[in-house]
């Protein structure tokens, strides 16, 4: 999966294709920046998830434009878009769909739910209980839905972009580890700067806000995702990815034995796969046909922070997964 060369295309052909596709990507990035102010890192991570074909979890307090960002992305790429507001009384059928009995034909028919879209915004995903969360496991991993014994494949591209408020806030549920592991990235959003917020206020008070026009197509997304799969990862960079992941499981092997009491479980193999995919996607955004250790470092926190479980001792000492991963990144040598 990770250790793949350029393939049948020559190196020059791949670089040429990346540069050609990057022109459309630059237009998409510029369009999104007209709507989303002061969240450049968030936009970059959204593009990493989009072109790496991975689901994204956005975490931040209310009012930081999480929902607006996802809606703007869907509009800019002319994608079929569904928004699901997660609430405590939501049912799995409200997401996936259900069987409906037709009195005229005396037969059951399938009524598909809002999950049948290209982009699905799961707004405030942690406000629904575990039964609803479990409904997303199959569709996020296998891009298919089972209703009434029949399985329905989802048309590509398919991305779940979920938002959640911090767990400490009232009326929220902690997401199951199995579901968290299906998100390629967990991006934590911070407040904008004073000058950025000044621009935000002025834009929202303007009499006629700027309309967002589609600049990217679904065909562009599919082509970019195929290019990302062909980006080269050297064996030394591959070893670096694997060592980072293994250090979350066995920190004592990397002279970080003091972290053992803080880590309840480390990253799964999905962490290795998604770290390689996200690094490839970021290399594509940098218009390169190969992955560097810096690409891996840029996406490492977002790929791994939700895959490192903390012990009670870590919580008692206010140790976070980000702090643990920063130590790991500082210890594991890069090639």
Q: Give me the DSSP letters along 232-284.
A: B--HHHHHHHHHHHHHHH-GGGGT-GGGTTTEEE---HHHHHHHHHHHHHHHH
Q: How many CB atoms lie within 10 A of CB 92?
A: 16
Over range 128-157, report the average pLDDT: 87
With a CB cutoff of 8 Å and minimum separation 6, the contacts of 288 are: 15, 18, 231
Residue 234, helix vs strand vs coil = coil
Helix ranges (DSSP H) in 104-175: 130-134, 136-142
- The CATH architecture assigned to 39-205+216-230 reads 3-Layer(aba) Sandwich (3.40)
Please give the pLDDT value at position 211.
Answer: 61
Answer whether 286's CB lies under 8 Å from 61's CB. no
Res. 3 pLDDT band, cuts 50 70 90: very low
The whole-model pTM stands at 0.88
Partners of 163 in beta bridges: 58
Task: Give me the residue label for tokens 């879209």.
Answer: 117
Question: CA 296, CA 147: separation in Å to the nearest integer?
Answer: 39
pLDDT tens-place string over residues 39-83: 888 889 999 999 999 999 998 877 777 778 888 888 888 778 888
Span 232-335: which CATH code?
A: 1.10.8.80
Domain ranges within the chain, ordered by starting residue:
39-205+216-230, 232-335
Answer whether 156's CB lies under 8 Å from 162's CB. no
pLDDT tens-place string over residues 144-196: 998 888 889 998 889 999 988 776 666 777 888 888 999 999 998 888 778 87
Select the highest-mean-pLDDT range: 33-37, 40-44, 156-160, 235-239: 235-239
């Amino acid at each position: 999966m990770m250790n793949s060369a350029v393939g049948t295309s020559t190196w020059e052909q791949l670089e040429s294709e990346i540069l050609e596709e990057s022109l459309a990507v630059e237009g998409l990035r510029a369009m999104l920046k007209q709507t989303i102010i002061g969240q450049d890192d968030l936009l970059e991570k959204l593009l990493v998830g989009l072109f790496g074909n991975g689901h994204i979890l956005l975490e931040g307090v209310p009012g930081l434009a999480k929902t607006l960002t996802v809606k703007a992305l869907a509009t800019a790429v002319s994608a079929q878009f569904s928004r699901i507001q997660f609430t405590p009384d939501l049912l799995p059928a409200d997401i996936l769909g259900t069987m409906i009995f037709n009195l005229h034909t005396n037969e059951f028919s399938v009524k598909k739910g809002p999950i049948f879209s290209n982009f699905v915004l799961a707004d405030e995903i942690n406000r629904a209980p575990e039964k609803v969360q479990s409904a997303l496991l199959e569709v996020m991993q296998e891009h298919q839905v089972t209703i009434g014994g029949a399985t329905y494949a989802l048309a590509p591209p398919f991305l779940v972009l979920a938002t959640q408020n911090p767990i400490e806030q009232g009326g929220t549920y902690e997401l199951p580890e199995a579901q968290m592991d299906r998100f390629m990235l967990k991006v934590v959003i911070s407040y904008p700067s004073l000058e950025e917020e000044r621009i935000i206020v002025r834009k929202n008070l303007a009499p006629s806000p700027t309309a967002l026009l589609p600049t990217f197509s679904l065909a562009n997304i599919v082509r970019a995702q195929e290019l990302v799969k062909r980006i080269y990862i050297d064996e030394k960079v591959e070893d670096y990815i694997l060592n980072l992941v293994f250090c979350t499981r066995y920190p004592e092997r990397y002279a970080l034995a003091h972290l053992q009491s803080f880590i309840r479980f480390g990253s799964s193999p999905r962490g290795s796969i998604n770290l390689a995919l996200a690094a490839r996607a970021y290399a594509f955004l940098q218009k390169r046909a190969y992955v560097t250790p810096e690409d891996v470092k840029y996406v490492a926190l977002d790929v791994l922070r939700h895959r490192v479980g903390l012990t009670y001792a870590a919580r008692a000492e206010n140790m976070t997964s980000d702090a643990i991963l920063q130590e790991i990144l500082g210890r594991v040598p890069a090639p």
